[in-house]
Chains A and B, each alone.
Chain A
Amino acid sequence: MTLILKQLDHDNLCHGWEWEVADIDVLAERVARVALGQYRHVAQILEGLSGAAPTGTAQHAADALKKLKLAKNGDPWQRDGWLFQVISWIAANQNRQEATLAPPHIFHAHKGFDGMQLELSGDGKSITAIVIFEDKATEHARKTIKQNVWPDIVGLEAGERVSELTHEASALLERHQHLHPDLNIDDAIDRILWQQARRYRVSISIDDKHKAADDRKRLFKHYDSSADGEVARRRAETMHFDDLRQWMSDFATLVENKIKAIAHV
């Protein structure tokens, strides 16, 4: 087990899990493998299309290590944001029951979501909803939720960003159908894009301020007015850090070492 997931529901406001690291070494290795896998994909594209010379794992590792470097101005938020997204993706996978989800984008995009997951019916044969991720690695949890996350969700509920949603959901549906050819794709499109069977999964870093259950509940205040309806639509996930930036900095080093070890460089 990479992460320990502890269920924490807040009545009708939201439901979800709190993540704790079970084995930091395994977690770092998983993140390293995601980074390596993504850069291997990048290399495959360039080799396949522009005749770039084939590269080996050592080159993919060198490229992946760049992803973990801080921005030129020393700002860590981009790197930490991506690390947190991958951790969030690992948590979602641990808890996913057959759902299909793709790892967070490695590219800089003007558009796009932090993550997305197809939620399946009990028998796994049909799609019941799409889950939209909002992943935030921040030292100001409540402010971020209030000023960024809720307005984002309200906008999505009002029909913003439908094109991005359509394109990412289509890619996931296509993958899912590839693995499960008996999937009724028209039915899935009807449900998630026409009927908007849509759920949200907000994941955020917290410190001591929001550690206690009541404080955690307060963190997610107004989730129900941002996305109304049944509580299943509102998933809230947290990961506690004593010092977020320090933890991420140490973790990035760990991931770097893993990348080097896997690639034998």
Chain B
Amino acid sequence: MFDPITAALIAASPPLEGLDLDALPKRLTEAFADIVAARIRLRGEGAEDASEMLQETLLEVRRLAAAHEAFVALLPERENRAAAAFVAASAHQVCLIGSIVDEDEITQSYLDGASVAPEICATLLFIVAEAHADAAECAKRISFSPDAGTDVESALLTAIKSLATGRLSNIGQMDIPDIDTGQATPEQAIDALYLELFKGIKRLAARLLARIDLDPAAGGIEPALAYFTRVKELSVGQMDDVLGTGDHVYNLFPGPLHLANLLIAVERDLVESALTRTPAPQGVDEDGWWQVIRRMARKRPFLWRNHRDAIASNYLEKGTSSAISFPTGGGKSTLAELKIAASLIRGEKVVFLVPTHALVDQTTRALKDTFNTFDIVGDVEDEVTFSDIVVLPEVIVTTPERCLMLLTTQPDTRTSRTTLRIFQFVADLGKQGPK
């Protein structure tokens, strides 16, 4: 279930009494399998045994989720926060799969004065762990119905979902709900605390889409951290000496406090992973670069850890050849688009090779969307002799066979090859050896 890098991340999480960290990736995988198996058995014979096994596994995984979530919330600056966050979120996910819900019952993911629904916490914890694909998947579990909660709750849940799925401009477009400040009830206070967190997420989204941080005094955005910190401070109220003993007594709103703590942990590292903050590679015009990456950021605003590793290894620089292998959903497209962007802005031409005809169309469409000011041609027609493509477009998407034909029948393209960036973009076709 976990690749070696993720398994190493899990094993680096904070220690717990009697828990073998090296065996933890395996244990989480087993728990996941146990729960899926138990759920299948619950529908048939042996339901009682299955239910007992499910309970035991759930109990252990819940304890794991609880402890690691608290590690992150209480010490958001700890070095192993990403590891703790990933373990907490994965454990939550196992529990969410295992919890039996009545499918007819439409329930809103709860946010109240005391607590916050686990699917909300797990989504944010995945973001802290920079596991963006998992965060987007987990965000699907956040549900709300406009009738069930306040406008503020709906807005906040929508914003968290959008943050996790990378739809940052949607957050920017959301209106700020009104709250009734005429009444000083605890429920109004809770709404006000959650509204402040929503405003903070709006600031965070705006910052993630911006090229640089401007000082708020110079027209920049007030940091999201200021909003989250205000909620953290205001969720705790010191009371007078109500007991007459001189002891400190505090009134608490644990739900908003906890969400503020998680958002502080989210904010801490997220800007570093913003695509918009990727500096232009050498020899690439800054403004041209910005025009492309800001467009890319509308769909995929975050650079994952593997993307950042590649960029740090000069992947985007001219003359660097790379062989890249990621699993499905591992983020190859983002890296490919970045490399294409750097090449196009340098004035180079791109040949993008894909293994099947079907992928030519799909890839062409995706590239046209990102590089809308460039000339992109998908080429699959086997019968054409290239007489009409003497001048190559800025990007041509084609198959290796067509490319070979192009190179042998069009001498002009060969001579211009020094200006081409050639991509061999091979999706996993599976093992085709003898069975």
Interface residue ranges, A against B (CB under 8 Å): 30, 33-34, 37-46, 48-52, 55, 59-60, 63, 66, 90, 93, 102-103, 105-113, 158-159, 162-175, 177, 179, 185-186, 189-191, 193-196
Question: For the complex, what is the distance from the CA of A104 to the CA of B253, rounded to whole Å?
Answer: 10
Question: For the complex, what is the distance from the CA of A51 to the CA of B182, rounded to whole Å?
Answer: 11
Contact B65 A194 (CB under 8 A): no
Residues in B whose Cβ lies below 8 Å from that of A169? 70
User: B196: CB under 8 A from chain A?
Assistant: yes
Residues in B whose Cβ lies below 8 Å from that of A37? 237, 239-240, 242, 249, 251
Partner of B254, one of A30, A170, A196: A170
**Shortest Cβ distance from A63 into chain B, in angstroms?**
5
Residues in B whose Cβ lies below 8 Å from that of A111? 110, 112, 114-115, 255
Contact A193 B184 (CB under 8 A): no
User: B113: CB under 8 A from chain A?
Assistant: yes
* Known interface pairs A37-B237, A46-B184; A166-B195 also in contact (CB < 8 Å): no
Q: Identify which of B115, B236, B254, B255 gathers the most chain A CB atoms within 10 Å of its CB.
A: B254
Contact A41 B74 (CB under 8 A): no
Contact B248 A102 (CB under 8 A): no
**17 contacting pairs across A/B (C-beta < 8 A):** A42-B186, A45-B234, A49-B230, A93-B245, A102-B252, A103-B239, A103-B242, A103-B249, A105-B113, A107-B189, A110-B110, A110-B112, A111-B114, A162-B66, A163-B117, A164-B115, A167-B258
A-B pairs, top 7 by smallest CB distance, nearest first, are: A112-B114, A41-B237, A37-B239, A107-B186, A171-B254, A159-B59, A33-B242
Question: For the complex, what is the distance from the CA of A172 to the CA of B250, rounded to whole Å?
Answer: 9
Contact B187 A41 (CB under 8 A): no
Contact A190 B16 (CB under 8 A): yes
Contact B252 A175 (CB under 8 A): yes
Residues in B whose Cβ lies below 8 Å from that of A42? 184-186, 188-189
**Additional pairs, 13, CB under 8 Å, beyond known A102-B250, A185-B74:** A33-B240, A38-B186, A41-B239, A45-B253, A49-B195, A50-B181, A51-B181, A93-B243, A102-B252, A159-B63, A168-B254, A174-B261, A189-B74
Partner of B251, one of A103, A108, A163, A186: A103
Q: What mask results when residues 52 to 81 of chain B are scored 1 for a CB within 8 Å of chain A, else 0?
A: 000100110011111101110111000000
Residue of A nearest to B61 (CB): A159
Residues in B whose Cβ lies below 8 Å from that of A164? 114-115
Question: For the complex, what is the distance from the CA of A194 to the CA of B92, rounded to whole Å?
Answer: 14
**Shortest Cβ distance from A134 into chain B, in angstroms?**
15
Question: For the complex, what is the distance from the CA of A33 to the CA of B15, rounded to whole Å?
Answer: 43
Contact B243 A30 (CB under 8 A): yes
Q: Identify which of B19, B58, B186, B236 gathers the most chain A CB atoms within 10 Å of its CB.
A: B186
Interface contact tally, CB-CB below 8 A: 198
Question: For the complex, what is the distance from the CA of A170 to the CA of B71, rounded to whole Å?
Answer: 9
Residues in B whose Cβ lies below 8 Å from that of A175? 236, 250, 252
Contact B243 A166 (CB under 8 A): no
Question: For the complex, what is the distance from the CA of A159 to the CA of B62, rounded to whole Å?
Answer: 7
Question: For the complex, what is the distance from the CA of A46 to the CA of B189, rounded to whole Å?
Answer: 6
Contact B64 A194 (CB under 8 A): yes
* Known interface pairs A93-B243, A102-B250, A107-B113; A190-B67 also in contact (CB < 8 Å): yes
Question: For the complex, what is the distance from the CA of A43 to the CA of B237, rounded to whole Å?
Answer: 10
Contact B184 A163 (CB under 8 A): no
Contact A48 B16 (CB under 8 A): no
**Shortest Cβ distance from B241 into chain A, in angstroms?**
8
Contact A52 B184 (CB under 8 A): yes
Residues in A whose Cβ lies below 8 Å from that of B59? 158-159
**Shortest Cβ distance from B182 into chain A, in angstroms?**
8
Question: For the complex, what is the distance from the CA of A82 to the CA of B65, rounded to whole Å?
Answer: 31
Question: For the complex, what is the distance from the CA of A162 to the CA of B95, rounded to whole Å?
Answer: 11
Question: For the complex, what is the distance from the CA of A165 to the CA of B64, rounded to whole Å?
Answer: 13
Question: For the complex, what is the distance from the CA of A67 to the CA of B173, rounded to whole Å?
Answer: 39
**Shortest Cβ distance from A6 into chain B, in angstroms?**
20
**Shortest Cβ distance from B18 into chain A, in angstroms?**
8
Contact A159 B112 (CB under 8 A): no
Chain B positions 112-135 with a Cβ under 8 Å from a chain A Cβ: 112-118, 121
Contact B74 A174 (CB under 8 A): yes
Residue of B nearest to A168 (CB): B254
User: B293: CB under 8 A from chain A?
Assistant: no
Residues in A whose Cβ lies below 8 Å from that of B179? 50
Contact B237 A194 (CB under 8 A): no
**Shortest Cβ distance from B419 into chain A, in angstroms?**
57
Q: What mask results when residues 1 to 42 of chain B are scored 1 for a CB within 8 Å of chain A, else 0?
A: 000000000000010110100000000000000000000000
Question: For the complex, what is the distance from the CA of A189 to the CA of B73, rounded to whole Å?
Answer: 11
Residues in A whose Cβ lies below 8 Å from that of B196? 49
Q: What mask results when residues 300 to 323 of chain B are scored 1 for a CB within 8 Å of chain A, else 0?
A: 000000000000000000000000
Contact B186 A167 (CB under 8 A): no
Contact A194 B17 (CB under 8 A): yes
Chain B positions 85-130 with a Cβ under 8 Å from a chain A Cβ: 110, 112-118, 121
Residue of A nearest to B118 (CB): A163
Residues in B whose Cβ lies below 8 Å from that of A165? 66
**Shortest Cβ distance from A147 into chain B, in angstroms?**
22
**Shortest Cβ distance from B77 into chain A, in angstroms?**
12
Partner of A107, one of B74, B112, B184, B249: B112
Contact B251 A38 (CB under 8 A): yes
